[in-house]
Structure 1
Amino acid sequence: MTRYQRQTMLPEIGEAGQQRLSRSRVLVVGAGGLSATLLPLLAGAGVGFIRLYDGDSVELHNLHRQTLFGVDDVGQPKALCAQRALAQRNPECVVEAHPHRLSASQLPDALAGIDLVVDAADNFAITYQLSDECYPRGLPLICASVLGRKGYVGGFCGGAPGYRALFPQLPAAAGNCNTAGVMGPAVATLGAMQAQMALSQLLQLTPSPLGCMIHCDFVDWHLRQFRFDDAPEPEEPAIPFIDRAMLTAEDCIVELRSPEEAPESVAERVERILPPQIAAWQAPTDRRIVLVCASGMRAAQAAEKLAGRGITRLALMAANTL
C-alpha cells in the first residue's frame, strides 16, 4: 500500500476504498487531450482495469495538450502509446488497448464487465451513443468537452438522468479543436475533473458526482456548478446512431454530404440529398431511413424534419466516428 499511502490516509478512502479501486473496471473512450491527464490519474490512483478505445495516431500538433505522448510517439496509435505510458507509471493497472474507434455495434462488448464509463472523445455523436447505452444499464457516465478556453464536465446515468435529459438534441452547429483551437491547460483541467468525478463515483463518495454539471470558463475566470438530479428524460424515443455493421439490405441510406465532401459514401447504394432538399424529399414509408453526415449534426437535423412529418423509422450515422 506504500504507493497509495497519501490517498489511503483520507478517512473516506482508507484501505477498503483502495481495494475497491483495485477491483474497479473503467471504460475510457478517447486517448487525446482529456485522457492525457485523466488516464495517469486513474492509473495512479490504483484503478485495476482500464479498457481504452481510440482510433487516431499521435500527430505533432497534438503534443501541446496531449502530454501523455512525446515526439517519439508521433505516427503511432494513441491507444498503444497510452498503454505503454501507463504501464511505466503503474504496472498494477491493466490497460486493455483497442487502437480503433468505438462504433455503435461494438458498444455491448465494450461495456461488458465495466463499472464506469468515461467519455473523453469530445465528440457529440459518441457522447449520445454512450449515454443511450449506459442509461438503461445503470452505468455511470462521466463526460467532458473543451473548446478554446471553456468547457464542462458532468456525471450522467447510473441512477442520474442521461445526457439527453439536459441536451435532448444534437447542437445545430459546433466547433472542434481542429477548427476553433484549444488551450492545453483548459483541457488538462477538465481531464483532471473527469478523473476526480470518476474516482469519487467508484469510491461511492458523497455527494455523488452523478447529476452534477460544472462549467469552466477560463476567459472570464469563473466556474458554475448546478445539479440536475430531477431533470426529466425526453418523452420521445431517441433516434439511434448506427454503424456499417448495423445496416441492412432494406435500408434507405441518405447521404447528406456533397460529392465534393464525400466522394465515397458509407455504402454502395445511397441517395444523395443535401440538407436543404430534405423538406421536399418524398421519403419511403416502408423502409428504415439512415441519414449520414460527417459528425451526425446534419443527420440529426434532417431526422427532426422527417420525424415532424410522421416518419419514425430513422437512424443516424456519423461518418467521422466510423
Structure 2
Amino acid sequence: MNNQELKRYDRQLLLEEIGFEGQEKLHQTSVLVIGAGGLGCPLLLYLAGAGLGKIGIIDGDVVEESNLHRQVLYQMNDIGKNKAQTAADKLSRLNPGIQLQAYPHHLSPENAMAIIAAYDLVIDGSDNFPTRYLVNDSCVALNKPLVFGSIFKFEGQVSVFNYQGGPDYRSCYPESPLPEEQPNCGESGVTGPLPGIIGSMMANECMKIICGFGDHLSGKLLIFNALNYDMQIFNIQPENPKSDPPTEGTDKTAIYQEIGQQELQDWKDKEEPFLLIDVREAYEFEEYNIGGTHISLYDLKEKIADIPFHHKLVLCCTSGAKSRMAAKLISQNRKEKLFIISLLNSNR
C-alpha cells in the first residue's frame, strides 16, 4: 500500500482482526451487489469505503423521488437515471482506488450465471422473490457464497448462504410464495433507517467472510425489529443435507402443510377443532386479524409449553415466512399436526 492508502484505511489497519493482511484480502476480492436500492445504497457505501478490490452493481431500475427517503446514494438531480450506473459514478468519487462495474439492467436467467461467475462473493439486496431464488440457485451451481438481506415495514433479515457447506436460501424458504402472497414495500411501506441498519449488517458480514474474523451468519437467520430493537437469531437446518440421504421429517410437508382461507373456513363450518396462533407483531394483529391467539414469533420459544395441545395447530402470519419458522421451532418440541396460512391472499 502507498501512503495515501495507508492514510485512508488507517482505522481498519489498526484493528487486529483486519490489519495489513485483511486489507490486502479486501483489495483482492471482487463482490457483486444485486440491487442498488434501499439495502444496496448503504452496503455499497461501506464496501467502497472499506477498499474492496472490485464491486459489481446490477440494477435495471431508475431513481424515483419515492426512493430518496431511504436510498441515500441519490439526490433529486438523479431522478430518472439508472441506479447501477449512478451508484458506480458516486462510489468512484468516494474511493477512486477501487474498480467499479455497473450492469444497468436486471439479472435474468439468461445472464445470471455469466455475471455471477466473474465474482468471488455475491450480496443479494433485491426486493423480489424471483430474483432471490435466481441468485441463490446460481450461487449454489457456481459454489459462490451469498450474503442475503431483506426488509419489510419495520423488520429486517440477514443471513449468509452457501458458505463452507452451509445451507442455502431454499433451506430457509423452500419455495417462493404465490405472486399475490408476496409482500413489497411499494404496497406496505418501509421506514427509512431500516435499510441502513440491515444494509450495514450485510456489509459487515461480507467483510467478516473476506477477512476471516468474527462469527458469521451461515446457518443462521438474524431477524431485527426496528419498533422495539428486538433481535433474534434462528438456526437454519438444510431441508436435504448434502452429506446425508433424506430421512423422514426433513422435507417441509412432513413438518407442516400450507392451507388457504377457504380450507380454514370449511373447518369452522364443520366445527372441526383447531387452534389458530397469529405469530406476527402485536401492532399487525391489532390492525387486522382473522381471529385466534396472538403469540409473537419472538416470544414463541418461551411460550411453547403453555400452548394447549390440539390435533390441528394453525400458524398465521402475513406472507407465511414467520409461520414456517414457527412451525420448525414447534416441531422440535411437540408433535402436533402443523398448518400455516398466509393473510396476503385473504379478502380484506
| TM-score normalized by the length of structure 2 | 0.65
Identical aligned pairs, as a percentage? 37
User: Residue 51 of structure 2 is aligned with which of 46, 51, 72?
Assistant: 46
Secondary structure at the residue paired with 1:28? strand
Aligned to 2:189: 181
CA distance in 1, matches of 2:16, 2:220: 24
1:1-322 equivalence runs, <5 A: 1-158=6-163, 159-172=165-178, 173-228=181-236, 230-233=237-240
- How far the C-alpha of 1:210 sits from its partner, in A, is 2.0
- How far the C-alpha of 1:89 sits from its partner, in A, is 0.5
CA distance in 2, matches of 1:183, 1:37: 14
Aligned to 2:326: none
Secondary structure at the residue paired with 1:105? coil
- Decide whether aligned partners of structure 1 residues 220 and 171 sit closer, same or farther in structure 2, where only a CA change above 3 A counts: farther
Q: Is the 8 A contact 2:117 2:142 kept in 1?
A: no
Q: Is the 8 A contact 1:161 1:233 kept in 2?
A: no
- How far the C-alpha of 1:35 sits from its partner, in A, is 1.0
CA distance in 1, matches of 2:116, 2:229: 37
CA distance in 2, matches of 1:195, 1:221: 20
Q: Whose radius of gyration is greater, 1 or 2?
A: 2
CA distance in 2, matches of 1:64, 1:157: 33
Q: Which consecutive residues of structure 2, in runs of 5 or more, have no partner in the other structure?
A: 1-5, 252-348
Aligned to 2:322: none
CA distance in 1, matches of 2:113, 2:141: 12
- How far the C-alpha of 1:208 sits from its partner, in A, is 2.9
Q: Which consecutive residues of structure 1, in runs of 5 or more, have no partner in the other structure?
A: 238-322
Q: Which has the higher contact order (CA 8 A, sep 6+)?
A: 1
- Decide whether aligned partners of structure 1 residues 233 and 133 sit closer, same or farther in structure 2, where only a CA change above 3 A counts: farther
Q: Is the 8 A contact 2:219 2:235 kept in 1?
A: yes
Secondary structure at the residue paired with 2:106? coil
Runs of 4+ in structure 1 deviating by more than 4 angstroms, as ranges, are 234-237
Aligned to 2:262: none
State how many pairs are aligned.
237
Q: Is the 8 A contact 1:50 1:94 kept in 2?
A: yes
- How far the C-alpha of 1:196 sits from its partner, in A, is 0.5
CA distance in 2, matches of 1:146, 1:56: 18
Q: Is the 8 A contact 1:122 1:144 kept in 2?
A: no
CA distance in 1, matches of 2:161, 2:39: 18
CA distance in 2, matches of 1:208, 1:224: 14
Secondary structure at the residue paired with 2:111? helix
- How far the C-alpha of 1:36 sits from its partner, in A, is 1.2
| AA in 1 matched with 2:167 | P
Q: Is the 8 A contact 1:214 1:223 kept in 2?
A: yes
- Decide whether aligned partners of structure 1 residues 207 and 9 sit closer, same or farther in structure 2, where only a CA change above 3 A counts: same
Pick which of 187-196 and 130-139 moved more. 130-139
Secondary structure at the residue paired with 1:104? coil
Q: Is the 8 A contact 1:162 1:233 kept in 2?
A: no
- How far the C-alpha of 1:202 sits from its partner, in A, is 1.1
Q: Is the 8 A contact 1:140 1:210 kept in 2?
A: no
| AA in 2 matched with 1:124 | F
Secondary structure at the residue paired with 2:102? strand
Q: Is the 8 A contact 1:31 1:53 kept in 2?
A: yes
